[in-house]
Amino acid sequence: MTTIPNLIENAVDNFQDHEAVVDGNLRWTFKEYGEQINAAAKAFISKGIKPGDRIAVWAPNTARWPVAALGAHCVGAVLVPINTRFRGEEAEYILSRTSAKILFTVTDFLDTNYVDLLKDSIDQLDLEEIVVLKGSTPKDCTTWEKFIESGISINETELEDRSKQITGDDLCHILFTSGTTGKPKGAMLEHAAVCRSYQTWCDVIGLTSTDRYLVINPFFHTFGLNAGILACLMTGATLIPHPIFDVPSVMKRIPEEKITMLPGAPTIYQTILNHPDLENFDMSSLRLAVTGAATIPVDMIYGMREKLGFETVVTGYGLTEASGIATMCRHDDDPEIIAKTSGRAIEGVEVIVVNEAGSEVPPGEPGEIIIRGYNIMRGYLNDPEQTAETIDQDGWLHTGDIGVMDPMGYLDITDRKKDMIITGGFNVYPAEVENSLMNHPEIGQVAVIGAPDERMGEISIAFVVPAKNSSPEPREIINWARERIANFKVPKQIIFVDSLPTNASGKVLKFELRERIKDSNQVD
């Protein structure tokens, strides 16, 4: 399958009456799922959406999320997912950057009305319509039902003609990833690359039509979107969206829905393994697990197999610019390998470790990880300079991650993108947080670093030099930041200092700040 519309057609043909989506009381077969997607696609045509137009979704995991996204794909539109933790300014930047025509969102998620978050900027955006997937519908917005109704007059032939025009080289997603400059960058991904990447992913882990897949990874993320929504279409697995991760609700749903596939960051499995009531929950249906993005204890892999009953536990490594996938362990790898490496390159993709001169280093020596293959993005949206910095003339994607390759080709990632922090499975780029905090009137200088945390993997800490004649309070700065940036980006601790350590050129020496944390034991 080379396009997402091909995947949908194939899934409907092959898995007709098999359960496709479960969301609360809603239960669709693949035939019904296909009908929902077609109805959304017809609505897009009636709204005048053309191939290449951008459609944004800013909502938690729910059955209507993939219907809107896949409907957009069927008419050649490009999907722009937005992180549900983003605040108004962050979402506005992405909507503006992509010139999105329609936004699908909600007004009742975790007491947040996403339409309200945009009220000061809607007039400056290219949005032609806001469709509310769930919750009360403000004036000037459209209900989901009204949106679907708008496509009734579009016939099947017109929709088929649109879908057939889509090729594997066309864009399917623009996924935003923060960068060291502090501004998110839109990675442009193509149909064929994404389809091939995740067919390989499905083959490696052994996902099948018998699996019931609890997708706790957010759909706005490359994993929830590609390894969740698309993987279920590829294999006929049942897609079961989970809107908010909390251990009791996940543990309850596993026996209720006979969940077989449960992916997630290591913290998820560790929390379940350590839960005092674990013995009261029937975990016997669990079969497949995919994890990564943080250090993994070997004992956790054994615990997942022995206590939770997983037959297959796989780790991997990827980044948005590489369609979210580059290396994977195999299901029959030793637990030590699964815990201590991110696997080896997937078929058709090259992954090597190089020195500063760009030459491949011998096994066992550290260097920068670079990737080349069909999975590499087309480039960053409207940013040829950043694209050229990231993808060299020979087609190698320079990740900025440091790793060591063993003689068998298994990759151990020893350091993340320069200063990037991974907290609870989410990537936090200090430059972006620093740029936001510098707007606080009582902050003169700031440097954000990561510190180890047993539960979250890492937490972010901000070293702050107060502005002249000011005496800011840590709690006030944290609360101020929460109103402006996603909660996972907000520093968990503020440390006031008279000055930041710098080198001769004025660059902050963050390694010294990390040493201070280590030496003073200031992390809670």
Task: Dump the DSSP string for 281-321.
Answer: S--TT--EEEE-SS---HHHHHHHHHTS--SEEEEEE--GG
Give tens-digit pLDDT for 206-238.
999 999 999 998 999 999 999 999 999 999 999
* 433 shares a domain with 411: no
* 427 shares a domain with 409: no
How sure is the predictor about 486, in pLDDT bands with cuts at 50, 70 and 90? very high
Last residue of a domain, one of 415, 433, 449: 415
Range(s) of the domain holding residue 133: 28-188
Structural domain includes residue 230: no
Last residue of a domain, one of 361, 389, 415: 415
| CA-wise closest residue to 191 among 11, 2, 380 | 2
Structural domain includes residue 233: no
Give tens-digit pLDDT for 440-469.
999 988 989 999 888 888 899 999 999 888
Q: Which amino acid is present at 139?
A: K
* 279 shares a domain with 143: no
Structural domain includes residue 197: no
| CA-wise closest residue to 364 among 327, 396, 406, 324 | 406
Instruction: Give the C-alpha separation, 431 to 418, whole Å.
Output: 11
* 380 shares a domain with 260: yes
| Per-residue pLDDT at 523 | 44
For the chain, the average pLDDT equals: 91
Last residue of a domain, one of 144, 163, 188: 188
Structural domain includes residue 320: yes
Report the CATH number at residue 254.
3.40.50.12780
Structural domain includes residue 442: yes
* 441 shares a domain with 380: no
Q: Which amino acid is present at 102?
A: I
Structural domain includes residue 235: no
Give tens-digit pLDDT for 237-275.
999 999 987 888 999 999 999 999 999 877 788 788 888
Give tens-digit pLDDT for 298-347.
888 899 999 999 999 999 999 999 999 999 998 888 888 988 899 999 99
Can you tell me the mean pLDDT for 70-96? 95
Structural domain includes residue 174: yes
* 36 shares a domain with 154: yes
How sure is the predictor about 295, in pLDDT bands with cuts at 50, 70 and 90? low
Provide the number of structural domains found in the chain.
3
Under 8 Å between Cβ of 390 and 188: no
* 312 shares a domain with 274: yes
* 273 shares a domain with 166: no
| Per-residue pLDDT at 505 | 45
Percentage of the chain surpassing pLDDT 90?
Answer: 71
H/E/C letters for each residue in 222-290?
HHHHHHHHHHHHHHCCEEEECCCCCHHHHHHHHHHHCCCECCCCHHHHHHHHCCCCHHHCCCCCCCEEE
* 344 shares a domain with 371: yes
Report the CATH number at residue 514.
3.30.300.30
Can you tell me the mean pLDDT for 124-151? 96
* 140 shares a domain with 71: yes
pTM score, whole prediction = 0.85
Question: Within its chain, how far is the Cα of 288 from the centroid?
Answer: 20
* 400 shares a domain with 438: no
| Per-residue pLDDT at 427 | 78
